[in-house]
Amino acid sequence: MRTFELLVNGMTRRVACEEDTPLLYVLRNDFALNGPKFGCGLGQCGACTVLIDGQSVRSCVTAVNDVRRGEVTTLDGLAQGDKLHPLQSAFLSEEAAQCGYCTNGMIMTAKVLLDRNSSPDEMQIREALAGNLCRCGAHNSVVKAVQRAARELKP
């Protein structure tokens, strides 16, 4: 067991764990950050998506040892104090969640998309989100939410 210092949501946090402990376990169990969800445990569904240095990463298959030098951002860290990130607000406004299990992955993946492309069209949004599993069928509302956030993020 080793002690790791991780930069998570702008704060340096310490955790003692094995090098190969999945980042998801540390975020949820040690840091009480419940945005990322355990879905498949294989990195295939997207429920556990976080950002590491601005890139989307599946935290269930990413070892703590692999992120000790990067900046981790979770869904919990997108808001600025009490002010939700425009993507979070748009998901609420568009009612883009039914069960909500995929919402974390959808928002985090959409964040990367909007950081790269401030005006994605519908097809680009659908392509970017294709790797996130949603069994409820909220896809159309999710696309509308991303489009709304894109409009709100424009200067």
Residue 8 has a pLDDT of: 97
Same domain, 15 and 71: yes
Boundary of a domain, candidates 58, 77, 96: 77
Residue 110 has a pLDDT of: 98
Residue 139 has a pLDDT of: 85
Q: What is the pTM of this model?
A: 0.95
Q: How many domains does the chain have?
A: 2
Q: What is the mean pLDDT of each run of 10 residues along the chain (155 residues)?
A: 96 96 98 96 96 97 93 96 96 92 96 97 97 87 97 88
Could you tell me the CATH number of the domain that includes residue 108? 1.10.150.120
- Residue whose C-alpha is closest to residue 105's, from 137, 134, 66, 148: 134
Same domain, 109 and 63: no
CA dihedral defined by 147, 150, 151, 155, rounded to 10 degrees? Answer: -170
Same domain, 6 and 73: yes
Residue 142 has a pLDDT of: 95
Same domain, 99 and 139: yes
Same domain, 93 and 136: yes
Provide the residue range defining the domain that includes 20.
2-77
3-state SS class at 153: helix
Same domain, 9 and 60: yes
Residue 147 has a pLDDT of: 98
Boundary of a domain, candidates 45, 77, 109: 77
Same domain, 43 and 95: no
Residue 57 has a pLDDT of: 97
CB 16 within 8 A of CB 1: yes
Boundary of a domain, candidates 54, 77, 100: 77
Same domain, 121 and 141: yes
